[in-house]
Amino acid sequence: MTITFRSETFRDDFTFRNSLYNIRRFPFPFDRDEYMYSVNMEPHVRGKKDSVFENLIDVDEHYVAEMQDRALVLKEDPLRCQALPHMMAAQWDTLELLMEHQAQDYPEHFTVTKNGDRWRWINRPMGIDDTFTFGDPATLPYQPMEYITRQAQGDFCIVDQRDNNLWMDAGMVTTQADWSLDFDIGMNFMEWHGPVPLAHQIGVFDRALKFLLNLQQGKPTRRLNWTMTVNPRLDTSPENYHKWGPDRLTVTPENVGEKMHLRVELQSLWRLPRSNAILFVIRCYLISLEELVTVPKWGRRLPRVLQSLPPEIIDYKGLTRNRPIMIDWLAKYDDGAPTSAGIFPD
């Protein structure tokens, strides 16, 4: 399918919108009317057509605009992309994985041709046509991870595995929900999850780490995570908190439907073949409440979920001020009817 890429912004005038087609494929994260942390992982296999699970590396109508926003973030702050020196093999693994998936699933937009170690990569939406030597970083304009993640939607962390732990040793992070690669780089799995409330106590991270240490080649896994963001802003980083933090105070009962966005991360984890590292893809999807309630099931369910949240999660996700405003606004879309199981629209 040929995607029509939108021209839009994720800052200043915020012209980002979802098309009707894109609304229905949004990865709504709640499969029931309440929410609590769990090790909610499932095999990352192809799912429903016209859903974000159709392809394992999803490309959508926001691709070009997201890549432009990433370039702006990197221009202001090059430390959003970092790789420790021992991660070079994993960088090449990442480049190979993203090129192969994008080319295989979106052949009208991307092509990769290999002649031994001599590779040619064509990215039509971004007007790129480069030939390089796989394994030789000098033949690319950036290091391999930066090169390819400037051309792939989502944030990317590459974690090294050693001493029965996972280590955040490389990444491209510009569309994050308030965490910083520059701060976390070199930390292990338990260290970088330190701030998350409640989940440690119920053993979620011990189990998740054990699970990930045994992640197998050819069997990627995924989970959904969520938060809410005021305005469709991709770069909600601690570094730029002064730019987006005050936005929370601009939400009113009149503008909440347009301003407040559900922010969902489709996180997928892949064992990389050459390096034995794990690629952690954090793909961010945004949808305004106005767009979301066009799907009746989601309009009913979201206020119920927001009602049911424990105080720690409300605080951690930064929802304290605006949750009542959202619940009030959403109430008119909840007629009390039961909702069907699962995340997809009826």
Partner 1 sequence: MSLNTDMPVRVADVTEVTDLVKRFRFERIDGHPMPFFSGGAHVVVSMNDNGLLRRNPYSLMSNPDDNSGYEISVLRVPNSRGGSVFMHEQVRPGDQLTVSQPVNLFAPDHRGRKHILIAGGIGITPFIAMMEQFSRDNVAFELHYAIRSRSHGAYWQQLLDRYGPRRIKVYVDEEKTTIPVAEITDNQPLGTHLYVCGPAGMIDGVLMTALKAGWPKENLHSERFLAPPAGLPFQVFLKKSNIHMTVGEHQSILEAAEAHGCDAPYMCRGGACGQCETEVSSCDGTLEHNDIYLSDEEKTSGRKVMICVSRFKGQQLVLQL
Contacts with partner 1 by CB under 8 A lie at 42-43, 45, 86-87, 89, 160-163, 210, 213-214, 216-219, 273-276
Q: Which two tokens stand for residue 194?
A: 């330190």
| Contacts with 144 (C-beta within 8 Å, 6 or more apart), sequence order | 88, 91, 92, 94, 95, 137
Minimum distance from residue 281 beta carbon to partner 1 (Å): 18
Among this protein's residues, is 321 annotated catalytic?
no
Minimum distance from residue 266 beta carbon to partner 1 (Å): 18
Phi, psi for 109 (deg, rounded to 5) = -110, -30
> Which strands sit side by side in the sheet containing 128-133, from one edge to the other?
110-115, 118-123, 128-133
Rounded to whole angstroms, the Cα distance separating 220 from 235 reads 26
The residue (of 274 and 332) whose beta carbon lies closer to partner 1 is 274
The residue (of 201 and 214) whose beta carbon lies closer to partner 1 is 214
Minimum distance from residue 169 beta carbon to partner 1 (Å): 9
Contact 88, 138 (CB under 8 A): no
Q: Which two tokens stand for residue 209?
A: 């780490």
Minimum distance from residue 273 beta carbon to partner 1 (Å): 4
**Of 17, 24, 223, 323, which is the active-site residue?**
223
Minimum distance from residue 274 beta carbon to partner 1 (Å): 5
Contact 143, 90 (CB under 8 A): no
Q: Which two tokens stand for residue 149?
A: 């993640």
**DSSP codes joined into one string, 91-105:** HHHHHHHHHHHHHHH
The residue (of 89 and 126) whose beta carbon lies closer to partner 1 is 89
CA angle 132, 56, 343 (to 5 degrees): 155
The residue (of 158 and 306) whose beta carbon lies closer to partner 1 is 158
The residue (of 25 and 271) whose beta carbon lies closer to partner 1 is 271
SS3 at position 314: helix
Rounded to whole angstroms, the Cα distance separating 171 from 344 reads 31
The residue (of 42 and 191) whose beta carbon lies closer to partner 1 is 42
| Contacts with 111 (C-beta within 8 Å, 6 or more apart), sequence order | 103, 120, 121, 122
Contact 325, 228 (CB under 8 A): no
Q: Which of 292, 113, 179 is nearest to 122 (CA)?
A: 113
The residue (of 38 and 252) whose beta carbon lies closer to partner 1 is 38
Contact 90, 170 (CB under 8 A): yes
Minimum distance from residue 205 beta carbon to partner 1 (Å): 16
The DSSP symbol for 177 reads B
Rounded to whole angstroms, the Cα distance separating 244 from 22 reads 25
Minimum distance from residue 220 beta carbon to partner 1 (Å): 10
By annotation, the residues acting in catalysis are: 223
